[in-house]
Structure 1
Amino acid sequence: MFGQRTQRIPADRLTRRHVQMNRGGTEQDGCLIYLGDELVSVLVRLEPGTPHAPEHRHKWRVTETYGPCEGLARAPLFDTPDAGTDWIADRLPPPAPRPWLDAHLLP
């Protein structure tokens, strides 16, 4: 289809829900990323006291991916959840094209 490679999921179609997560006995800020009603990714804020480099403190990391995001396991670190959401939106596959003829109109 013409122009299909240039289409992308607009970041405003992805919604975020901020949550508190208990990972390994420590409370961490988390962000659930949804595409419509489907959970597609989990971002976690790297807090002091968790195993990571000191310069990565307070950065956001993709920890889980689901559905259309499953291939996005090697994501960089992000300064904000918004930056992570934009990165995910840029890498999601384009939506399936709508059929030009509805099945219920066929004889």
Structure 2
Amino acid sequence: MATPRMRVDREWLNTNVLQNPGVRSAINQTARRLAPIVQQIALREGDRDYANSVRVETGGTRPGLKSPTRIRRPQARVIIGDEHAMEKEHGTRIYPKKGFLRRAVRQL
């Protein structure tokens, strides 16, 4: 027996979940808890420039382009201002793979 598909009204979802101050607050708190962990790991590895460039950007919404429902969701992001952040995170011939963000998420 197939389970019936549940439909959620987009207006209700937007009002009660996506625009809910509690949801936005929880997203912001998670990003604010993650940023110091990233800084701590970078400092432990001796990368002061990377650690000093960590900041949290709150507010805004994700575009929802990949979502099948195209729902735009709130976001808070940990931004790394170091110009070589991607190379240090994922590794290249010049920079070894450090994975600061990946390791910080695991500790969270």
Normalized per residue, the structure richer in helix is 2
Q: So what's the TM-score if we normalise by structure 2?
A: 0.28
Q: So what's the TM-score if we normalise by structure 1?
A: 0.28
Normalized per residue, the structure richer in strand is 1
